Amino acid sequence: MSDSVRILPLGGLGEIGKNMTVVEHGGRIVVVDAGLMFPTAEMLGIDLVLPDFSYLRERADDIDAIVLTHGHEDHVGALPYVLREVGMPPVIYGGPLTIGLVRSKLEEHKLRHAPLEVLDPGERVTAGPIEIETIHMSHSIPDARAVALHTPLGAVLVTGDYRFDQTPVDGRPADVARLAALGSEGVVCLCGDSTNADRPGVVPSEASVGPALLDVFGRCTGRIIVTCFASNVHRVQQVVDAAAKLDRRVALVGRSMRKNFNIATNLGIANAPDGLLIPPKEIEDFPDHKVIAISTGSQGEPLSALRRMAFNDHRDVELHSGDTVIFAATPIPGNERSVNETIDRIYEIGARVVTAADAPIHVSGHGSREELKLMLNLTRPRHVFPFHGDHKRIHLHAELAEAVGIPAQRIHKGRNGLPLLIDADGARFGDSVGAGMIFVDGVDIGDPDDVALRDRRMLSADGVFIVVATVDSEDGSSVAPPEIIFRGVPFLDVEADGFVGELREVVEDSLAAAAREGVNEPVLLQQDLHDDIAAFVYERLRRRPMVLPVVVEV
């Protein structure tokens, strides 16, 4: 309907990650963000998780623009895959740093001709029947924006990730005045960040981290390795500033760390005094008390620079006793185990570890409960659609909206794939569309079915048996000793010889029984072998490895 607005979240609801929202009006589409999520431990062999954007494939000709709120992977990481599968939209908007990071990412994917444009805060552009405006916000990466999509019903305001930092490092707090003005003009729906809806109060200023880092650095006598997100340019800048005060050289370690700081420097967002930065390979040329390394790997990522340092696998930096490793970030939910493994390994080496639990060296980029209330009170939306959070946080955000006076019937707790339809009569959920997950497995993208992932879990837990049986093509009887191959089977090496001999007898007995019953079809023989072998293995090992019988006829 031309006088209605349809808001379809394809990702970011019921989860933290892969944010992507489709806003429709007058039959035309504006997409806000195209993020990804990193796989959970159960998604064996999966590299990345994308939102299911098959809906956009069907509506590709109706897309007028893609707008990016900021440069974090959970908001822009899926963009190369979307462009490759759906096609290029007329234009992709974002802030200068966001566009710079995205341009670099797209070049790596050999997508060099994407229509990228910088959209300044306050500037309005038309995309079909929708007018797009961005509002400057504070977050843990520069150039964060809220996106206002103006329609005849009012503005749909997608906040992106935000907080209300009154003393940000760059001196540019969120544009509270414009948010309040939008509230006066009329916000038909607020699609708000729910990440910290469970945290009371207000998040401390990012500016408070700089003095804390300087204090910690001042008490270190050896090398310092600071790990944080490569995209947290303000945090990296504060480390650089502290190093300059302490007369230490700084090495940026990790490809994304160097790339992001270089992009930010070229845009005038970051800077380092001449001679302060050194290549990682020159770290050993300086005394330990004269060096700070800023590294990727705060989330324990297997291939990150810090992880490789900890396991003596980095070509330039090897951790040793006397080093201090400072985690200027907290683990994303789900990453706690890998972070703890990295920390434990650092302690084993003899280095010291400092985390946010030990000193105030990290603050969140997402607003806590009082900041979410402030957003609600500034914008005074007619409808509230909590975004960017698991179901618990979405529920808590809804409670906050009701607490500041928004009627419960105008607060909509949704899920991915469930569109919210808004018109002059009110709002209601429409028919659900497909909005699952797309997996990136190596260089391929697709939807590995439950069977494939279940098989991977089984292989990782209990291993595999391959049994090759050679039978007579006439009567199905065994004509050669079966060959037994096993990999990754726990505890089997304790009694391998005796076990394998008994397993061969099980195979021979199974084939003999089938021959007596006149069964000689390979498919049927394989089914019988599978059942008999699996039963024997479970009885002996109390494990259920994958069993793959192969029948060869001669």
Q: What are the domain boundaries of the chain?
A: 5-201+364-446, 211-354, 450-553
pLDDT band at 443 (very low <50, low <70, confident <90, very high): very low
Q: Are 485 and 548 in contact (CB under 8 A)?
A: no
Q: Coil, strand or helix: which one is 306?
A: helix
- Adjacent-strand bridge partners of 29: 24, 63
pLDDT at 194: 97
Please give the pLDDT value at position 129: 96
Is residue 233 within 8 Å of residue 260, measured between CB atoms? yes
pLDDT reading at 380 higher than 60:
yes
What pLDDT score was predicted for residue 137? 98
CATH ID of 5-201+364-446, from 3.30.460.80, 3.20.20.80, 3.40.50.300, 3.60.15.10: 3.60.15.10
| Res 494: pLDDT | 43
Would the pLDDT of 487 be above 80?
Answer: no
Lowest-pLDDT range of 93-97, 213-217, 480-484:
480-484
Between 286 and 333, the more confident residue is: 286
Higher pLDDT pick, 496 / 108: 108
| Residue pLDDT, tens place only, 145-184 | 999 999 999 999 999 999 999 999 999 999 999 999 999 9
Report the pLDDT value the prediction gives residue 512, as an integer from 0 to 100. Answer: 85
* Residue bearing the bigger pLDDT, 495 or 22: 22
Q: Per-residue pLDDT for 444 more than 70?
A: no
Q: How confident is the model at residue 31 (pLDDT cuts 50, 70, 90)?
A: very high
**DSSP result, 69-137:** S-S-HHHHTTHHHHHHHH---S-EEE-HHHHHHHHHHHHHTT-TT--EEE--TT-EEEETTEEEEEEE-
Residues 6+ apart with CB under 8 A from 429: 412, 414, 418, 419, 420, 421
More confident residue, 509 or 518: 509
Average pLDDT for 190-209: 96
pLDDT of residue 451: 46
In 3D space, the residue among 419, 422, 296 whose CA is nearest the CA of residue 4 turns out to be: 422
> Region 407-434: what's the mean pLDDT?
95
- Provide the annotated active-site residues: 193, 366
Asked if 5-201+364-446 and 211-354 have one fold, the answer is no
Residue 42 has pLDDT above 70, yes or no: no
- Taking the mean position of all CA atoms in its chain, how far away is CA 182? 31
Q: Is pLDDT above 80 for 462?
A: no
Task: Kindly report the three-state secondary structure assignment for every residue of 399-462.
Answer: HHHHHCCCCHHHECCCCCCCCEEEECCEEEECCCCCCCEEEEECCEEECCCHHHHHHHHHHHHH
Q: What is the DSSP string of 15-50?
A: BSS--EEEEEETTEEEEE----BPPPTTSTT--EEE
Model pLDDT, residue 529? 86
**CB-based contact 224:247 (threshold 8 Å):** no
For position 460, what pLDDT does the model report?
60
Least confidently predicted of 120-129, 210-219, 264-273, 510-519: 510-519
CATH 3.10.20.580 given to domain 450-553? yes
Superfamily of domain 211-354: Metallo-hydrolase/oxidoreductase (3.40.50.10710)
Instruction: Please report, as a single letter, which amino acid is at residue 244.
Output: A
pLDDT at 326 > cutoff 80: yes
Mean pLDDT, the chain, rounded, equals: 89
Comparing 441 with 285, which gets the higher pLDDT? 285
Strand, coil or helix: what is 519?
coil
pLDDT of 136 reads: 98
Which range, of 67-81, 312-326, 487-501, averages the lowest pLDDT?
A: 487-501
Tell me the two tokens of residue 368: 């806590």
What per-residue confidence (pLDDT) applies to 519?
A: 78
Among 154, 120, 137, 126, CA closest to 192: 137
Q: Is 498 exposed, middle or buried (0-12, 13-18, 19+ CB in 10 A)?
A: exposed
Task: Report the candidate in 308, 315, 302 with the shortest Cα–Cα distance to residue 346.
Answer: 308
pLDDT at 406: 97
Task: Give the mean model confidence (pLDDT) for residues 219-236.
Answer: 94
Best CA proximity match to 81, nearest among 10, 131, 8:
10
- Is the pLDDT confidence value at 454 over 80? no
- Is the predicted pLDDT of residue 144 greater than 80, yes or no? yes
- Is pLDDT at 496 greater than 50 in this prediction? yes
pLDDT (0 to 100) of residue 456: 55
Q: Are 306 and 328 in contact (CB under 8 A)?
A: no
Mean of pLDDT values over 515-530? 81
Write down the pLDDT at residue 493. Answer: 52
Looking at the predicted structure, is the pLDDT value of residue 449 above 70?
A: no
Q: What is the DSSP letter of 286?
A: S
pLDDT of 1 > 70? The answer is: no
Q: What is the pLDDT of residue 491?
A: 58
pTM recorded for the entire structure: 0.80
